[in-house]
Amino acid sequence: MTDLVPEHPGPHRRFDPLRGEWVLVSAHRTERPWQGRIETFDPPGFLPDYDPDCYLCPGNRRAGGRVNPAYTGTYAFTNDFPALRPAVADTSPPTSPLFRADRVAGTCRVLCFSPRHGRTLADLDRTEIHSVIDLWAEQTTDLGATYRWVQIFENKGEAMGASNPHPHGQVWAASALPTYVAAEDRRQAEYRDAQGTNLLTDYTRIECVETTRVVIENDTWVAVVPYWATWPYETMLVPHRHVLRLPDLTSDERADLAELLKRLLTRYDNLFATPFPYSMGWHGAPFQTDQIDHWQLHAHIYPPLLRSASVRKFMVGYELLGESQRDLTPEDAAQRLRRLPETSDRNDLHVT
């Protein structure tokens, strides 16, 4: 396999060095007529900054019965219905090597980005996004003192399972490394042992020279559609400097990240003229281990939309049974995102 891919290549596979997996690229697939599922899409209208029925708005009662304080900035609380719990019982001894189980302790928190119900992260200004980044860093430090893995993430939009439109994310902390994180840990360590450098710092340096897949770059960060991207408009955010975790970011790096997020998320919204759904999450060095120099902090953004606000990418069939497949090249996706404006008229859609 060659590193250089023609502008309009035929079907080919690309290797993901972070997970050690392949992805099938079939750029011609978007030419086929679509008679599949069409997502329901209602253009955004006037959205209130406060909803009396919202579980996350300031002063409101949550589903679990507790009342939110009258918060005016960011706000974090322990999830009323967590997937992980601090105290768990030991698992029963396996009756066969084929029936393995292991206990996992943890906790889950909800992170409100803003008290204003009708906003999204893309709607916040850079100062407000900077406060969200500070919250992510604070939660990472706090939970990293107890747990090996701290997963910061946001699911935006109903298409990604978000049941509440209030701007919020989550943090799950666990005593064990999740499967995908363990793969990234292993692959980065192997690269460091073989090359003496860091996989993602080497990768992004090359991307910034070639520029083909770079969407946005500033003094300390780059947003790139990975060469091995799976989702149609997937991006990865990586600092130029070697950084292990979110709390290690300098004030300037946090300000630049806020600027980059504002610009990138606005472009996403402008792509199909809709609040763009996605799952976004941060990967940094695990805690409770000394072997972390091979890690580089980075964020993955996985948006599902493919052709329009109502046609999404489905991971089914061959993707579930064989390997991941994408319908346009990463180079094409990056070019489309670069062409988009970085201003939005969504601020006109909010009322107080």
Residues 332-345 have pLDDT tens digits of 999 999 999 998 86
Q: Which of 280, 277, 268 is nearest to 344 (CA)?
A: 268
Q: In what order do the strands lie in the sheet with 75-78?
A: 75-78, 106-112, 168-174, 149-156, 278-283, 298-302, 235-239, 221-224, 214-217
Number of domains in the chain: 1
Tell me, yes or no, whether 201 lies in a domain: yes
Q: What is the pLDDT of residue 89?
A: 77
Lowest-pLDDT choice from 35-39, 83-87, 271-275, 325-329: 35-39
Whether the CB-CB separation of 298 and 245 falls below 8 Å is answered with no
Amino acid at position 94, single letter? P
**253-273 mean pLDDT:** 97
**pLDDT over 80 at 29, yes or no:** no
Band (95; pLDDT cuts 50, 70, 90): confident
Q: What pLDDT band is residue 31 in, cutting at 50, 70 and 90?
A: low
Q: Determine, yes or no, domain membership for 2.
A: no
Active site residues: 168
Query: Do 308 and 272 form a contact (C-beta atoms < 8 A)?
Result: yes
What is the extent of the structural domain holding 241?
45-347
Query: Which CATH number covers residue 231?
Result: 3.30.428.10
Q: Which residue, among 302, 284, 290, has the nearest Cα to 188 in the 3D structure? A: 284
Any domain includes 72: yes
CA pair distance 216, 191, nearest whole angstrom: 26
352 lies in a domain? no
Evaluate if residue 164 carries a pLDDT over 70: yes
Instruction: Please provide the average confidence, as pLDDT, over all residues in the chain.
Output: 91
Map tokens 């091979």 to a residue: 294
- Please report, as a single letter, which amino acid is at residue 226: P
Q: What is the pLDDT of residue 9?
A: 75
% of the chain residues with pLDDT over 70: 90
Q: Quick one: pLDDT band at residue 3, thresholds 50, 70, 90?
A: very low
The helix (H) or strand (E) run that includes residue 301 is strand 298-302
Q: What's the token pair of residue 248?
A: 């290690």
Q: Quick one: average pLDDT of 292-306?
A: 96
